[in-house]
Amino acid sequence: MSTSIRKSLAWLHAWAGLVAGWALFMMFLAGTASVFKEEITAWMSPELGPGIDAMDALEAAEARLNAVAPDAERWSIRLPSERSPATRITWRARDASVTESEMLDAGSGRVVAARETRGGDLFYRLHYRFEISNPVRRGWWISGAATMFMLVAIMTGVLTHKRIFRDFFTFRPRAATQRTWLDAHLLLAVPLLPFHLMIAYTGLVPIMTTVMPWGMIANYGDERPLLEQLADLDAARRAYSSDRRADPAAQRPPAHVPSPTVALRSIAEQAAQQLGGPVGSISVRNPNDANAVVEVVRRPGGALSNRPARLLFDGSTGDPLPVTTSPSPVAKIQAALYGMHMARFADPMLRWAYFAAGLASSAMIATGLTLWIIKRRRRFTDQTRIPFGHWLVERLNIAAIVGLPIAMAAYFWANRLLPLDVAARAQLEVRTFFLVWLSTLVVAMLRPADRAWAEVLGSAAFAFGAIPLLNALTTDRHLVASVVQGDWLMAGFDSTMAAIGLLFAWCAVKVAGRTRASAAEGTAVPSALDSSTWRSHE
């Protein structure tokens, strides 16, 4: 490959990474947290104690539904698991348009007034919707564009580095700063290249009906001109969603003939044997009616598809109902790719592997953003010559790379400190997240870069490291009690927060020490990353 082509690809790699880098960092870090979405939600709902046998919880849920909504149009029961230890019941009356719900303690079956919270769902929606909800799905367009930039950056990065695989085995922490950061960038990028490609490609699947609707229109569209269908995708989306869900026989109308529904536990135990795995949820259409239909859904896990297997039963007799249709090949492929991206099929060890790979990918993006600044500092000999664009990029790097984790920690703090009965409590938690994130940008703008890096890293260390103590002061499910009781979900969350706090503390000490050394030498340091970045070096 000629030098001119390689330089052009390097330019494209650098600018594609910069333009989408901050959005990609947020998408990867929030997506990494979403791997443990259920565990985060459980930690943020401490009133819901550890779960018990799912079948015992099912009996308690059925009794509660028979007490509060015996003639409802539909019941839904989400059973507890090791990841989500609460039972959730929902129902909708025939003459009501609003669905009501309750959370039940899995141990006693009693109704629990759990604190209002978005839990891990905030990070899940943030990582692909940017917390933007509107009819035109602007957040989906942003995440789709960022993903395309990432694919461009990956391919140009592979083509640009002629010694990429040899350099992967080399890390020189004492070399010139630019070389050290490039080594770190390659070390994080090359071994995880298949993961990066898989996550980027499969990440387009959930949003493809918005950003790549042509295939959907070709298979599920109508006779209208293409441009007219592109302007109004609702009809094609409805047809595609109907095919993807494939809910046969469950739609039969009520007979209006009273008939007690067969005990759900017996149906669930029969279904678990046929499904080859534990039951995750049960829904009953027309409960206590002669035309009652029970739908049993397998708990996610053990299968790649994001659409778990399900069975239908006659609610009056308990007999299986035939499934007359099945999802099309398109829907099956979509479910498999979506499942690969979400990792809901994974066992605990594989989920931790996804989590570690997500953190490494986030660090890869962070090192790339930092390297962009370092490579360009050689052009300037004093602070007065720093262009505004370079000054702004470094401040945005601070707010994105460290500010976002601080905002995530603040979200957990808000969950424990906000009054339980305050109005719109879940929304206040979300606002705390964004306000704290914005405040880190303000700090980065107002402080010298070296001090800003040290201060936000120190703040992140405290924010995460103190979460186990905060949990101990505000609930009775603290780290010691959780270990004693074998409540590994709560203990694992607190331990992970403490470990992240220690990691940020180590980074803060390193940066602060380098800043002090540079100050003692009287060197003008625009960033605490390394004073040598202001000296010309190869």
What is the per-residue pLDDT for 34? 95
Is residue 396 a contact partner of residue 441, using CB atoms and an 8 Å limit?
yes
366 lies in which domain range?
1-46+115-245+349-377
Strand pairing class (100-104; 87-92):
antiparallel
Distance of CA 218 to the CA centre of its chain: 31
Domain annotation covers residue 337: no
What's the pLDDT band for 243 if we cut at 50, 70, 90?
low
pLDDT tens per residue, range 316-343: 999 998 866 666 777 788 888 888 998 8
Task: Clarify whether residues 437 and 528 are in a common domain.
Answer: yes
- The continuous run of DSSP H or E covering 297 comes out as strand 293-298
Instruction: Find the helix packing angle between 467-474 and 404-417, rounded to 10°.
Output: 10
Across 136-274, the runs of DSSP E, i.e. the strands, are none
Phi, psi of 482, deg, nearest 5? -65, -40
Count structural domains, the chain: 3
Shared domain for 275 and 239, answered yes or no, is: no
| d(C-alpha 325, C-alpha 238), whole Å | 17
Nearest to 110 by CA among 55, 75, 66, 60: 60
Verify that 373 and 391 share a domain, yes or no.
no
Distance CA 21, CA 146 (A): 8
* Whether residue 407 is found in the same domain as residue 535: yes
Shared domain for 131 and 277, answered yes or no, is no
Residue 344 lies in a domain: no
In which element (H, E) is residue 443 found?
Answer: helix 425-446
Helix intervals (H) in 418-521: 425-446, 449-465, 467-474, 479-485, 488-521
With a cut of 60, say whether residue 246 has pLDDT above it: no
Shortest CA distance to 45 belongs to which of 429, 464, 512?
Answer: 429
Average pLDDT for 416-432? 95
Residue 508 has pLDDT above 90, yes or no: yes
Q: Which residues pair with 279 in a beta bridge?
A: 298
The answer to the question of residue 450 being in a domain is: yes
Helix (H) or strand (E) holding 33: helix 3-34
Structure tokens at 381: 């000999």
Which residues pair with residue 87 across a beta bridge?
104
> Is residue 282, in this structure, part of any structural domain at all?
yes
537: pLDDT strictly greater than 50: no
Do 514 and 454 sit in the same domain of this protein? yes
CA distance 258 to 275: 30
Give tens-digit pLDDT for 145-187: 999 999 999 988 888 876 666 666 666 665 556 777 888 888 8
With respect to residue 334, please indicate whether it lies within any of the assigned structural domains.
no
Give the per-residue pLDDT at 53.
78
Residues in the chain: 538
Residues 222, 280 within the same domain: no
Which residue do the tokens 């703090």 mark? 413
SS (H, E, C) 64-130: HHHHHCCCCCEEEEECCCCCCCCEEEEEECCCCCCCEEEEECCCCCCEECCCCCCCCHHHHHHHHHC
- Residue 239: per-residue pLDDT: 77
381 pLDDT higher than 60: no
Q: What does the pLDDT look like over 199-217, one tens digit per residue?
A: 999 998 888 888 888 778 8
Q: Does 499 lie in the same domain as 456?
A: yes
- Same domain? For 449 and 306 the reply is no
Q: Is residue 335 part of a domain?
A: no
The dihedrals phi and psi of 210, each to the nearest 5 degrees, come to -100, -50
* pLDDT greater than 50 at residue 99: yes
Of 362, 377, 392, which one is at a domain's C-terminal end?
Answer: 377
pLDDT (tens digit, 9 = 90+) per residue, 300-310?
Answer: 877 788 888 88
Do 80 and 150 lie in one domain? The reply is no
pLDDT for residue 38: 92
Q: Examine the domain organization and report whether 293 and 399 are in the same domain.
A: no
Tell me the DSSP string of 233-266.
-HHHHHHHHHHHH---STTPPP---B-PPPPHHH
Q: Which residues fall within 8 angstroms of residue 73, CB to CB, at 6 or more apart?
A: 91, 92, 93, 94, 254, 285, 286
Residue type, position 239, single letter: A
Residue 382 has a pLDDT of 54
Does pLDDT of 524 surpass 60?
A: no
Does residue 88 sit in the same domain as residue 130? no
Q: What whole-number percentage of the chain has pLDDT above 70? A: 86
Which two structure tokens, joined as six digits, stand for 222?
């109508």
pLDDT of residue 177: 64
Does residue 104 carry a pLDDT above 70? yes
